[in-house]
Amino acid sequence: MARNPKYDILFEPVTFGPKTMRNRFWQTSHCTGYGSDRPGTQARFRGMKAEGGWAVVCTEFCSIHPESDEYPWHSARLWDDGDVVNLRYLCDEVHRHRSLAGVQLWYNGMHSPCLESREVARGPSGLPSNVFPERCLYDAAADEDDIRAIIHMYVLAAKRAEQAGFDLVEVSGADSTLPMQFLERRYNRRSDRYGGSLANRARFYIEVMAALKQAVGDRLAVTTRFETDTINGECRIQHFDEGLHFVELMHSEGVCDLWAVKIGDYEEWGEDAGSSRFRKTNWMRPFVSHVKSIVGASVPVVSNGRFTSPDDMVTALRSGQCDVIGAARPSIADPFLPTKIAEGRVEDIRECIGCNICVSRMQQQALLSCTQNPTSGEEYRRGWHPEHFEPAADPCSVLVVGAGPAGMECAMVLGKRGYTVHLRDCAPELGGHWRDVARYPRCAEYGRLISYRQIQLEKLRNVEMHLGIPAMTADDVLQYGADKVVIATGAHWATDGLGAEVHRPVAGADAECAEVLTPEQIMSGKRVVGEKVVVLDGDGYFTGVAMAELLADQGKAVTLVTNMNMVAEFSKYTMEMPNNKRMLHEKGIRFLTNHWAHSFVPGRLRLFYLYRDSAGLYEVEPGRWGRRTSDELVDLECDALVLVTARVPNGALYADLKARRAEWQRHEVQAVYRIGDCHAPRQALNAIFDGHRLAREFESAHPQHPLPFIRERQLWGHSTIPQRGDLRPAVEPV
Ligand code: ADP
Ligand code: SF4
């Protein structure tokens, strides 16, 4: 189909400094965990976005020097010629698709753990890091020689970037990096010309930009990513005050070819990577929209906002908010988003659901994966392309039982590969447990996980969907007539309080009773008796806090009890922790951490503190050593108990079929596989990955077992760059 003319503006070229981007789609710098140490994964992941139409594709944060070492978080690095070799492949892949490659130059001062390099970062005032207060991190206060040395580090990194083939260098003045540490009053205690007034505090940032302009600015664009408001009040950066005044100052120096603007700092990263539970599309607009009026027509502005709808993008452009649409997560969820708009296939866009699982992977010091796009990060190591599916040489018929995330994904990929698929579910609609999730408070955007797959499945003529059928038994499956069977029957919340803490049910907790409920029961309308409700959360992600909020909104007095150190502990990885806590506080939801349930009787939940036993180890009775155990208990008034303790696989159908393996041949069933939560109940991204992988590898010798993937690591016996004893270019003034 032809492109809708109202979207033409999105495909206009934009010039900044010496470069011109072919359209207005900019893949903002974002973390992956691939860094420069996984060059294949990095290059193919970024190259896929260029192929999908993003005119500029940037790296993640890229450390310019071993003094700014984020290990165990994996950043890109431009420390030496080895990094040049590895990042060159990224640039080649991006250029192959006519896009520009950008690298974000990063020096993190006091917040650099330096756990690999063991060097000491320099900073404005020699203060401890507030981002990692428990790690005993301090920067070394920089004198003017140090400042010149650091600026030289930026220049050397930019020169390496040019060698690698990058088209633009973006100075990170975001996420509390060094330029911000000089700019912010709270960090900058200096009394020299780099401290005091705004102009003085801005000097370092502006000098870095000026040095880069001078060194590479006629060949590479020199840009910055700047947070106009750190969203934490006075003494930091507020957009109507120092945020915009700084933009005026830097702009008047003429050292910045393009501004990418955002809000939030390292501590409040969740305001930049705003999750859909707390922030809706283009939430940063009030804080960033004035930048354009300061920098004028000749200097483009990039604005982010989890844009997935071309209409929202056009509105942002036409309103004068920005010239370029920046996106990290929408480009992860759908690298082909620009192409789909260009081809008039807007309904095919795999819209980001704003779950921040991608961020969580990085925060767990792991590798980026995406809930919506299971091919993310698999482009190189598994050779997966998000839009291309190898046609099956000899497609057979496949019955998929269960239309949750796993079953939908598997049926969709099998369908795209040419198999004849019957997707059957006893529920009247697609989506499995995710239908409930999308109705939790704040989780409406999660529903895109279902709607994207529904649209794709409905387009596939070789896929039939049978919903609202009686639950299938092993007899039904064997007699169905399919060549192969995939079981995707999901999981359910434990009805007896089984959880990870003690791996046993909680005495008296039985969801058959009126006073005990599971999330499924709440979502299907089971009445919550009484006033005082306890949510027992052993899951630690969004379900516990969602149930607590839902019931608080109904006027219940809610207490959330968890065995973990923090409420919704996993949300520290998704960057939702601060706002989860604010929400609980605002809604008067009390919480108790490091406790678990001992027993329940209507009216009273009895808890125990996880660390109630003695610290010392003693001879508790002759010959038997151990802790002195305590039977101390804490009672909570509790009219209704909500069990968010663990999920239990619906594994019976697969087990029945496996037990009847001898009958498969008689029924001409060649194979039975299981995927998703019925195999092991995990987060939705894993269920989707499971379904996707099985469908991609459906003809392998043992499809239930994944094929090996390429592992990127140094193979012994091959040389390294640098070698021990090599010289490092001097950065100190002589
Ligand atoms: P996953 O996350 O693994 O995809 P879900 O729990 O979301 O799993 O979805 C499982 C789906 O399987 C549910 O919609 C459920 O109605 C369906 N289902 C479970 N058992 C059967 C069965 N025996 N026959 C048909 N559908 C089933
Ligand atoms: Fe969006 Fe979630 Fe994918 Fe991240 S993981 S890109 S937030 S859908």
Nearest one of 152, 133, 131 to 142, comparing CA atoms: 152
Distance 353 CA to ligand 1 centre (A): 22
- For residue 684, the ligand closest to its alpha carbon is 1
- Report CA-CA distances (Å) from 476 to 404, 469, 472: 20, 11, 6
Closest ligand 2 atom to the C-alpha of 276? 7
Pocket flag, ligand 2, residue 357 (CB < 6 Å): yes
**358 pLDDT more than 70:** yes
Write down the residue that tokens 């007699």 correspond to. Answer: 479
Binning pLDDT at 50, 70 and 90, where does residue 550 land?
very high
- For residue 467, the ligand closest to its alpha carbon is 1
To test the ligand 1 pocket, which listed residue (433, 489, 524) has its Cβ within 8 A of the most ligand atoms? 489
Pocket flag, ligand 2, residue 372 (CB < 6 Å): yes
Whose alpha carbon is nearest atom 19 of ligand 1?
489
- For residue 279, the ligand closest to its alpha carbon is 2
Distance 475 CA to ligand 2 centre (A): 39
Residue 593: count of CB within 10 angstroms of its CB: 16
Distance 337 CA to ligand 2 centre (A): 14
Whose alpha carbon is nearest atom 5 of ligand 2?
370
Pocket flag, ligand 2, residue 358 (CB < 6 Å): yes
Distance 369 CA to ligand 2 centre (A): 8
- Over the range 688-724, which residues count as b (16 or more CB within 10 Å of their CB) and which as e? bbbbbbbbbbbeeeebeeeeeeeebeeeeeeeeeeee
Residues 553-604 have pLDDT tens digits of 999 999 999 999 999 999 999 999 999 999 999 999 999 999 999 999 999 9
Pocket flag, ligand 1, residue 399 (CB < 6 Å): no
Binning pLDDT at 50, 70 and 90, where does residue 268 land?
confident
- For residue 333, the ligand closest to its alpha carbon is 2
Residues 489-513 have pLDDT tens digits of 999 999 999 998 889 999 999 999 9
H or E, element range at 310 = helix 310-318
- For residue 675, the ligand closest to its alpha carbon is 1
Pocket flag, ligand 1, residue 472 (CB < 6 Å): yes
pLDDT at res. 733: 62
Pocket flag, ligand 1, residue 410 (CB < 6 Å): no
pLDDT at res. 329: 98
To test the ligand 2 pocket, which listed residue (336, 372, 378, 443) has its Cβ within 8 A of the most ligand atoms? 372
DSSP class of residue 677 equals: G
Pocket flag, ligand 1, residue 691 (CB < 6 Å): no
- Give this prediction's pTM: 0.97
**247 pLDDT more than 60:** yes
- Report CA-CA distances (Å) from 365 to 201, 229, 572, 712: 33, 27, 13, 16
Work out the average pLDDT over 105-118.
96
Closest ligand 2 atom to the C-alpha of 356? 7
Pocket flag, ligand 1, residue 486 (CB < 6 Å): no
pLDDT at res. 240: 77
Pocket flag, ligand 1, residue 650 (CB < 6 Å): yes
SS (H, E, C) 526-567: CCCCCCEEEEEECCCCHHHHHHHHHHHHCCCEEEEEECCCCC
pLDDT at res. 237: 76
Average per-residue pLDDT for the chain = 96
Work out the average pLDDT over 636-662.
98
Distance 139 CA to ligand 2 centre (A): 34
- For residue 428, the ligand closest to its alpha carbon is 1
Binning pLDDT at 50, 70 and 90, where does residue 445 land?
very high
Pocket flag, ligand 1, residue 681 (CB < 6 Å): no
Whose alpha carbon is nearest atom 13 of ligand 1?
432
pLDDT at res. 241: 84
SS (H, E, C) 119-164: CCCEECCCCECCCCHHHCCECEECCHHHHHHHHHHHHHHHHHHHHH
- Over the range 339-375, which residues count as b (16 or more CB within 10 Å of their CB) and which as e? bbbbeeebebbbbbbbbbbbbbbbbeeebbbbbbbbb
Whose alpha carbon is nearest atom 3 of ligand 2?
370
Q: Which residue type, as a one-letter code, is found at position 63?
A: S
User: Which residues, at least 6 apart from 672, have a Cβ–Cβ distance to it below 8 Å?
Assistant: 477, 484, 485, 486, 487, 654, 657, 658, 664
Q: Quote the CA–CA distance of 516 and 509 in Å, as a whole number.
A: 6
Residues 392-417 have pLDDT tens digits of 999 999 999 999 999 999 999 999 99
Pocket flag, ligand 2, residue 522 (CB < 6 Å): no
Q: What is the dihedral of CA 601, 602, 604, 606, to 10 degrees?
A: 30
Pocket flag, ligand 2, residue 371 (CB < 6 Å): yes
Residue 149: count of CB within 10 angstroms of its CB: 18
Distance 473 CA to ligand 2 centre (A): 35
Residues 119-132 have pLDDT tens digits of 999 999 999 999 89
Packed helices 198-216 and 244-253: angle between N→C axes, nearest 10 degrees: 40
Whose alpha carbon is nearest atom 6 of ligand 1?
490
- Structural contact between residues 253 and 210, judged by C-beta atoms closer than 8 angstroms: yes
Distance 333 CA to ligand 2 centre (A): 6
**729 pLDDT more than 90:** no
Alpha helices, H only, 417-541: 434-437, 448-459, 474-478, 519-523
Work out the average pLDDT over 194-215.
98
Q: Which residue type, as a one-letter code, is found at position 106?
A: W
Pocket flag, ligand 1, residue 433 (CB < 6 Å): yes
Pocket flag, ligand 1, residue 489 (CB < 6 Å): yes
Q: Quote the CA–CA distance of 709 and 44 in Å, as a whole number.
A: 14
Closest ligand 1 atom to the C-alpha of 675? 3
To test the ligand 1 pocket, which listed residue (371, 425, 648, 689) has its Cβ within 8 A of the most ligand atoms? 425
Distance 651 CA to ligand 1 centre (A): 10
Whose alpha carbon is nearest atom 17 of ligand 1?
402
Residue 34: count of CB within 10 angstroms of its CB: 27
Distance 482 CA to ligand 1 centre (A): 18
Distance 443 CA to ligand 2 centre (A): 13
Distance 353 CA to ligand 2 centre (A): 6
Distance 422 CA to ligand 1 centre (A): 14
Whose alpha carbon is nearest atom 6 of ligand 2?
329
To test the ligand 2 pocket, which listed residue (356, 367, 378, 685) has its Cβ within 8 A of the most ligand atoms? 356
Distance 519 CA to ligand 1 centre (A): 16
Kindly report the backbone phi and psi dihedral angles of residue 694, in degrees, each rounded to the nearest multiple of 5, phi listed first.
Answer: -60, -45
Work out the average pLDDT over 526-530.
98
Work out the average pLDDT over 364-375.
97
Binning pLDDT at 50, 70 and 90, where does residue 140 land?
very high
